[in-house]
Structure 1
Amino acid sequence: MPTSSFTSASSAVPCPVVESLDAILPEEPLLMMGAGPVPIPAAVAKANAIVINHLGGTMVKVIGQVKSMARYVFQTNSKWVLGVAGPGSAAMEMAISNLAWEGTRVLSIKNGFFSERMAEMGRRVGARVSTLDVADRSVASLEEIAEAIRRERPEIVTVVQGETSNTVWNYHLKEIAALAKAAGALVIVDAVCTLSTMPLEMDAWGIDAVITGGQKGLSSIPGVSLIAFSDAAWERVKGRTAPNAHWCLDATLAENFWHNAGYHYTAPVSGVLALHEALRLVCAETLEKRFARHLKCSLALQDGVAAMGLRLYTPDACRLNSVVGIEVPEGFSPADVCSHISRMHQVEISGSFGLPIVRVGQMGEQCREHNLFRTVHALGRTMVDLGVKVDLPAGVAALERGLSGGR
């Protein structure tokens, strides 16, 4: 009797024996205090466990509310808010690939790993990309930016509000956008680690595309992101003659699902529901209170780190609040610190991209006092364990003063 193809195929590759997640994951959940993802609230976790029809009436209502809440968080009245089934980098690629194509002149203000990523995405779609290279731990002056705009005559300017890789805050964002708009260029902003953690006013500042990920300031899950286009940007999207090479990231196709209740592809239903709850919690807190909470917690953390005797990486004038960079003491690597604090204290912090720093996040649910005390204590104990001389009591006392308003 001939052997069935099913039997033959199943016997050719043996069934693997694997461990369950319970056996792989640590007994005590790690406190996620790195550069993302961040801890998620119970309401977000609950929503992420639900599956509904991605084209049904309930989803239509959910999508409508997601867009409405997102407009508040982006501070835009633009209709053109879309979700992205992918990380913040997918939203970034949606912005770049829909607004730039072969021959488009793009100026990328480059002061770190993620601002360079936007430049690379531009090059990959055939744009003529020029970069304004900024020294580490600094921001470009407005004079330098104005000169680059005059020289390159860009159709698009890209900039990162908070460069997560080296913890630099581009505090001139509003003025950069004004310079670009005056020259007739569209402005794309990466707000992955800053949206809802610090002010960003898309309409008032004249920004044409803002992208963000779910897993940072919004305290949602990784893998579902948001993008907002201005009317001017959307006009360019709709007016292009060559189709976007990225089918999934084609904004004109995404419009069918996000604005016409039609089919594009099967949406990440659970992730969209999680994003809904994350945005609802932002709206319930209000942006003003959320900004104040983030600023207070980050400054208190910075005070604690400095009082302990460790050095903050970025100068105060351009220091990013949502991700705090800390220099690793001489003789140690970021991996030494990150592995020890995780293994011994169940706190996760991040290294960077070749820089001698570790990074502690202050985004969303990370900005809670109990998380800060645990993190500062764990960081101090890690340094003591590694033989680094620090003053842990002074660090904790400074953290307490900062949280109590005594900075």
Structure 2
Amino acid sequence: MRYSLKFPTLPISSVPTMPLTPSFSVPCPDVESLDAILPEEPLLMMGAGPVPIPAAVAKANTIVINHLGGTMAKVVGQVKTMARYVFQTNSKWVLGVAGPGSAAMEMAISNLAWSGTRVLSIKNGFFSERMAEMGRRVGADVSILDVEDRAVASLETVEAALRRVRPEIVTIVQGETSNTVWNHHLKDIAALAKAAGALVIVDAVCTLSTMPLEMDAWGIDAVITGGQKGLSSIPGVSLVAFSEAAWERVKHREQPNAHWCLDASLAENFWHNAGYHYTAPVSGVLALHEALRLVCAETLEKRFARHLKCSVALQEGITALGLTLYTPQACRLNSVVGIEAPQGLSPGDICGHISRQHQVEISGSFGLPIVRIGQMGEQCREHNLFRTLHALGRTMVDLGVAVDLPAGVAALEKSLSGGARPSVR
């Protein structure tokens, strides 16, 4: 039997046509190119992040490959291996995050805490408060251990809070960039938390690879970091590492994670099974690979020494200028250096002038009367220090502040040449 299909035909006049000149309610904008927007001379990024990136990282960030192919699987495998060295962990559970360091922070918290989870957040600045807020948003019962500005929590205070709250999770920032405080009791606080039966989440966004952090040896259960600081990679691709104990909690939670993209169980499919979760930020992962490779080539020991040497030299140069460092030396963060704004000047005045006149970018803070200079990754190069200190000194002179610029540069040179002996951190 033969079948014949007949389709109705429409007269030409009834066939819809696309108008030759469509009418748009929103007109096409006329915008400037980036060449017209960006300064002629590239800005030297010496603020609290992002930081300058090496040529190998920049080159990798221009490449796109298949996010599910064999090449990508090999790249991801090497990223995890190198990250374990930088985190100092043997845990299998290293994951990348398509997002800033705050997304990695939210991945850690949203996977380990949920409705009713008791969380103790040690708060001594803006970013430690952010972890507490993320805990509240997933329904956790968050208690705050509030620490005075420019100070760290004492072990006695932490121990008392642990007894009072009986937390399942403790959150703490190793380097609080908002006020440039270094939580130097981190190792001992982690030990107290573990003895109390709590898992420990550490924000190491500005400190990982700039100063010691030993995830396994210190008993830390989740460490988060961003690419755009100590690792000297691009913003927008971050890392998180979970301990075996933390991963057990992730896999056996009864409540599903409200964050689909940040669900570690789903992310496992891409980062550990070469499968699909979502389209990975391929170029960013390649950039992160090269950044980690450069860290491994330098070695952590040499990298820590370089960061300490450069930061101490910068601090001594700033002091010799006649300016005041914001945080006491006992808890001063080396990764980001805070400087009190002189009387009569706002942080915006200083940051704006040094950017416009000297093409050097430094940072203000979150309501504090300080400016901040980063000492992370590629920022810690001697030529960057001299240029930044000179630009800061000239800015102060231009804005009417009496500083001793020759003395500042001389102190910087003396320290870098070995005239000053930094204390080991």
Q: 1:3 to 1:16 in 2, by over 3 A?
A: farther
Shift of 1:257: 0.0
Does residue 335 of structure 1 match 2:348? yes
CA change 1:233–1:19 in 2 (3 A) is: same
The structure richer in helix per residue is 1
Partner of 1:360: 373
- Per the alignment, residue 200 of structure 1 pairs with 213
Corresponding residue for residue 292 of structure 1: 305
Match of 1:308, as an amino acid?
L
Q: Which runs of 5+ in 1 are unaligned?
A: none
Structure 1 SS opposite 2:122: strand
The 2-side partners of 1:111 and 1:5 are apart by 62
Within-5 A mapping of 1:249-328:
249-328=262-341
Amino acid at match of 1:295: L
Partners of 1:93 and 1:11 in 2: CA distance: 41
* 1:151 match: secondary structure: helix
How many angstroms apart in 2 are the aligned matches of 1:312 and 1:267? 41
DSSP 3-state at the match of 1:211: strand
The letter for the 1-side match of 2:136 is R
1:33-73 CA-to-partner distances (Å, cap 9, x unmatched) read 00000000000000000000000000000000000000000
- AA aligned to 1:246 is H
Shift of 1:4: 3.2
Larger radius of gyration: 2
Alpha-carbon separation, structure 2, partners of 1:286 and 1:352:
31
Residue of structure 2 equivalent to 1:62: 75
Residue in 1 that maps onto 2:18: 4
Rate the CA distance shift 1:403–1:13 in 2: closer, same or farther, 3 A. same
**CA drift at 1:144:** 0.2
Q: Does 1:36 align with 2:49?
A: yes
- In structure 2, C-alpha distance between the alignment counterparts of 1:30 and 1:349, rounded to whole Å: 10
Match for 1:127 among 106, 121, 140?
140
Distance in 2 of aligned mates of 1:337 and 1:96 = 36
- Partner of 1:203, secondary structure, is coil
| CA distance in structure 2 between the aligned counterparts of 1:7 and 1:403, rounded to whole angstroms | 67
1:346-399: CA deviations, max 9, x gaps? Answer: 000000000000000000000000000000000000000000000000000000
Q: Which runs of structure 2 are paired with 1:80-95 in the superposition (5 Å)?
A: 80-95=93-108
Distance 1:5 1:388 in 2: 66
Q: CA RMSD of the aligned region, Å?
A: 1.0
Q: Aligned partners of 2:334, 2:215: CA distance in 1, in Å?
A: 20
Aligned partner of 1:167 in structure 2 is 180
Which residue number in structure 2 is paired with residue 115 of structure 1?
A: 128
Hey, what's the Cα distance between the residues in 1 that align with 2:20 and 2:355? 45
Q: Which amino acid aligns with 1:4?
A: M
- Which amino acid counterpart does residue 111 of structure 1 have in structure 2? N
Change beyond 3 A, Cα 1:6–1:207: farther
**TM-score (norm. length: structure 1):** 0.99
Question: Which residue identity is paired with 2:189?
Answer: I
**TM-aligned CA deviation for residue 168 of structure 1:** 0.1
Counterpart Cα distance in 2 of 1:13 and 1:4: 18
Residue of structure 2 in register with 1:379 after alignment: 392
| Runs of at least 4 residues off by over 4 Å | 5-8
Unaligned runs of 5+ residues in structure 2 are: 1-12, 421-425
Q: Deviations over 1:141-174 (max 9, x none)?
A: 0000000000000000000000010000000000
Give the C-alpha shift of residue 11 in structure 1. Answer: 1.7
Identity %: 87
Number of aligned residue pairs? 406
Distance in 1 between residues matched to 2:71 and 2:21, nearest whole Å: 43
Structure 1 pair 380/57, CA: closer, same or farther in 2 (3 Å)? same
Aligned-pair CA distance for 1:337:
0.1
Q: What is the alpha-carbon distance in structure 2 between the residues aligned to residue 65 and residue 22 of structure 1?
A: 36
**Of 380, 383, 392, which aligns to 2:405?**
392
Q: Which residue of 2 aligns with 1:101?
A: 114
1: CA distance between counterparts of 2:383 and 2:19? 58
